[in-house]
Structure 1
């Protein structure tokens, strides 16, 4: 056994900073229909070419009038549905108006139809006090001409796409998708649907990682399961490097494992092995094969998931030029005691309870993927920090991490 001292564990924040320093945004953009741009990263500022709304309009079904005229009975001289350009409204008159319809010139107020009555003589009488400007949506109150609607680096979710459409954008310039090659090594791996021999396991990480990558807008190149031989592994790495920006694997790269992946990466490029001070997920590898980034995740399914979410996710977002890399965290009350914390930073699988606190999944093993399925997110606990039920802790919801 070697007497060489072990390298100290690297703090997660330091590892992330080192990793992000390697993630230069990819060159190239493409133009997509706005409807097809969900999950992509905006490559250029979107500037509004118009005011939204383009004219003052009614927020209610009712009657448009001058507030100063509201006390007197008023003849109703116009009917204004949405989409029609109305004529000017003279003083002393009212107009029947519908939600979204343009306010006629001269009108400054809308009275809800519930607070107006038409007398037998056809004149309008307002039954409630009127405030000037009520129920009027003003021109440009949502967007103004020349305003930045969405800045470059925005990840386009449903609301962002709706806002882009509000500004009339039929197409959007987005960053090129990272091409990520994924493959698995290990003769013990079997694909779901195949018989499971003694000693074999189903390859769950392949499905988890592929779904995570697609959710981040990546183009996935799935190279399948590579035979557990050095020559086959080196050939797979060369193919992946020729086709992808990033090579992503899980398992087989921690120190001391009898596996061909680590020597294959070292032979085809360079490899840094990091022992990160987190639980689960200590072993992590970063390197280069040709021009491609290589990232090796731990093999246990929860370790692979956690290290992807806290390290690989921000790396891939930065490759696309995204400006918000870190998930939002929230301070919530722990619903349990944690008297024996680990020396490493811990990511515990927890669920929101009905009181707004956090409940703990009983089995926190890195091999129990059920814990992540059950959970609403991760409790991010600093190294060595004990806490009691009721203490405030940091919660990272999966709604943020998987978005």
Structure 2
């Protein structure tokens, strides 16, 4: 049996970053850049007005109330370069090219128009006012986004504005999911006494989808050694990570551990000094990782967030493997006996973290409203209201 920290260290040490792949920026949300992206154009690529107003020569504005004749207008998308002679103004709109010769744009609210003339209420007017210079955001040839950055909605918009058609990103892992248990029935089917509806596969697929992992294959196996061996071997041949839900405890019909030995997967550790989720097994065969998760749904989801997710993130090129951890005061006291660390489903707000009722390993109702997990070590097995505890924030 290993400690929580030992388990995490062993997982990261045995996880390797995946290779790269190319994709359109529009499809790359939550992927990590494999290599730098350089700007093929400058942004802006022309002098651009940041305001609706009037383009002027700043030297023409000699006092508040200066009156200038309006010669023309410049609209966004203007294809020809206009020229503004001294002593005149040009109506201009946000995003429009600034005419040659103009050195400032006076915002519309600081002017008064009368027919073909405009009175400038600003003084003094500094050169460059309300003008976006060429390359103000980025110059052509510069690094637009560095490698290893996580691509967000803002990043995708930025790349699209640079006319980037393809980016090189770290591949996300392919996941194989094996569900075991003769008592499990698929949703929508009729159920007999002693049976339960299977929920772990849907729960884990949703958690994977939240991380942007969509290449997920699910197989089901009866509580039979040969069936378990065949299913694990089949999944291992096609996937980077294989998750087994159930069948890893010490019951007569728990075959996952024996099946992993049969397919020559090396067990890195079995059992973690924690509650819930003690019977977690982590194994490896060549580059494929195996996580045998407890069958109890809450235990399975805790183990996913604390152990599987970090491996997925490392494979995907991220450096922030683990859930974000913060220290927060706990709303009410909590204590436990024993020699295992505890993970508590909780809700966290700006002020406190609140442990929820229903901490049993089978109970998902509390997980349905949780946005955090409290981590208490055996050295902190009794906390009073207001004590600070370690809180792991769940993905939003």
Q: Same fold (TM over 0.5)?
A: yes
Q: 1:185 aligns with which of 180, 183, 188?
A: 180
> Which 5+ residue runs of structure 1 have no aligned equivalent?
1-6
Q: Distance in 1 between matches of 2:57 and 2:106?
A: 10
Q: Distance in 1 between matches of 2:377 and 2:111?
A: 62
Q: Distance in 2 between matches of 1:131 and 1:13?
A: 62
Q: Distance in 1 between matches of 2:140 and 2:7?
A: 43
Offset of residue 230 of structure 1: 0.8
Q: Distance in 2 between matches of 1:391 and 1:67?
A: 62
Deviations 1:38-91 (A, max 9, x none): 233322221222221223322221112233433321122231111114323233
> 1:335 — aligned with what?
331
Asked whether 1:53 is paired with 2:44, we answer: yes
Offset of residue 100 of structure 1: 0.9
Q: Distance in 1 between matches of 2:94 and 2:207?
A: 42
Deviations 1:331-375 (A, max 9, x none): 44433333558754443322245x643333222222211112112
Q: 1:17 aligns with which of 4, 9, 26?
A: 9
Question: Structure 1 residues 252-261 or 44-53, which shifts more?
Answer: 252-261
Question: Structure 1 residues 190-199 or 266-275, which shifts more?
Answer: 266-275
Q: 1:210 aligns with which of 205, 226, 245?
A: 205
In structure 2, relative to structure 1, the CA distance for the partners of 1:60 and 1:297 (3 Å cut) is same
> 2:309 — aligned with what?
313
Q: 1:264 aligns with which of 236, 252, 259?
A: 259
Asked whether 1:200 is paired with 2:195, we answer: yes
Secondary structure (helix, strand or coil) at the match of 1:143 reads coil
> 1:4-403 to 2 correspondence within 5 Å?
7=1, 9-10=2-3, 12-27=4-19, 29-70=20-61, 71=63, 72-84=66-78, 85-119=80-114, 122-132=116-126, 133-255=128-250, 258-269=253-264, 270-289=266-285, 292-338=288-334, 344-353=340-349, 356-385=351-380, 386-398=382-394, 401=395
In structure 2, relative to structure 1, the CA distance for the partners of 1:327 and 1:101 (3 Å cut) is farther
Q: Distance in 1 between matches of 2:375 and 2:129?
A: 47
Q: Distance in 2 between matches of 1:217 and 1:197?
A: 36
Offset of residue 199 of structure 1: 1.9
In structure 2, relative to structure 1, the CA distance for the partners of 1:91 and 1:278 (3 Å cut) is farther
Aligned residues: 389
Offset of residue 98 of structure 1: 0.6
| Equivalent residues of 1:39, 1:215 under 8 A apart | no
Q: Distance in 2 between matches of 1:241 and 1:257?
A: 24
Secondary structure (helix, strand or coil) at the match of 2:140 reads coil
| Equivalent residues of 1:241, 1:290 under 8 A apart | no
When normalised by structure 1's length, the TM-score is 0.87
| Equivalent residues of 1:238, 1:289 under 8 A apart | no
| Equivalent residues of 1:32, 1:172 under 8 A apart | yes
When normalised by structure 2's length, the TM-score is 0.88
| Equivalent residues of 2:244, 2:256 under 8 A apart | no
Secondary structure (helix, strand or coil) at the match of 1:259 reads coil
Question: Structure 1 residues 74-83 or 288-297, which shifts more?
Answer: 288-297
| Equivalent residues of 2:282, 2:289 under 8 A apart | yes
| Equivalent residues of 2:246, 2:254 under 8 A apart | no
Deviations 1:238-282 (A, max 9, x none): 211222222111222235664111111112113244332333322
In structure 2, relative to structure 1, the CA distance for the partners of 1:387 and 1:98 (3 Å cut) is farther
Offset of residue 387 of structure 1: 4.1
Question: Structure 1 residues 321-330 or 89-98, which shifts more?
Answer: 321-330
